[in-house]
Amino acid sequence: DDFGGRTILPDAETAGRQIYRAGYTAVSFGTLGSALYAYLSLSPGAVGLELTPEALLPCEVTAALSFGAAIASLLNPSPLSLMPGFEATQGGQKERPAGKGIGTLERKDSLKLSPRGLTRITRHPLILPVVPWGISTSFLAGGRMGDFLLFSGLALYAIAGCAAQDLRVIREEGSVGTVFQPQSARAPTTKEGLKDFFEETSFIPFGAVADGRQSLEDILREAPWGGFVAGSFIGYFLEESILNWLRTHSI
């Protein structure tokens, strides 16, 4: 990148962050992988809820919309996301340093510290959609005890993970998972920037709207609706693929 060049681990901070991510990924695969194996082993003989297609329809819609919200969040700048922030250059003619833009887009990580679109709803638009997805998938997968343990467990895991991320900011205990470009305007790695973002947003969806810190009008104007609609269609097929895979691979 612009900071580290061709060096994989340009400094101690980057090395520590990448090593932590590698370890976290390994632990996640180990724990979730073993849970999935146990789930597939228990599924065939378990008796679940017998729900009609009409009763399952709201769950299908919820699962698809949850995927849509998560996918759309990748187009929405947020300090709690690994995605960088980008700003459209004026008419594609704005001068910029080499390597800092993509087409008519210029990287601008300071945008991540300003509530916009989905982050006006919740500061965790990528992870919190796992909650409604997990609950709805518990029913779609069969409504068995194993379904609720696995998928509702993932929902609780998402809540706990987001809450832990918030605590890191509140207690000023290191990074929140994002990386800011060092040369960005206003160097938005300051504690004050994150503090302001947290004061203007809410953990609970629409909490900041309910208490007047954010408005529905701004959300409707700024949300990446194209990404949400496309993501919901993609989510429908992903959900069907996941359910089919689970049925096929039950031991």
Q: Which pLDDT tens digit goes with each residue over 65-103?
A: 999 999 999 999 888 776 667 777 665 454 555 445 555
pLDDT digits (tens, 9 = 90+) for 11-46: 776 677 778 778 888 988 898 899 999 898 876 666
Return the pLDDT at 131: 98
Asked if the model's pLDDT at residue 183 lies above 50, the reply is: no
What pLDDT, on the 0 to 100 scale, is given for residue 29?
Answer: 87
Q: What is the DSSP string of 176-229?
A: -S----TTSTT-TTSHHHHHHHHHHS-SSTTHHHHTTSS-HHHHHHHS-HHHHH
Contact (CB, 8 A) for 140 and 239: yes
Radius of gyration of the chain (CA): 20
Mean pLDDT along residues 238-251: 91
State how far the Cα of 148 lies from the Cα of 151, in Å rounded to an integer: 6
pLDDT score, position 108:
72
Q: Residues 228, 72: contact at Cβ < 8 Å?
A: yes
DSSP line for 47-72: ------HHHHHHHHHHHHHHHHHHHH
Spatial contact of 218 and 67, defined as CB atoms under 8 Å apart: no
Predicted model pTM: 0.81
Token pair for 194: 């994150």
User: Two tokens at 148?
Assistant: 């609720």
Q: Above 60 in pLDDT, residue 240?
A: yes
Residue 77 in contact with residue 111, Cβ under 8 Å?
Answer: yes
Residue located via tokens 């007047």: 212
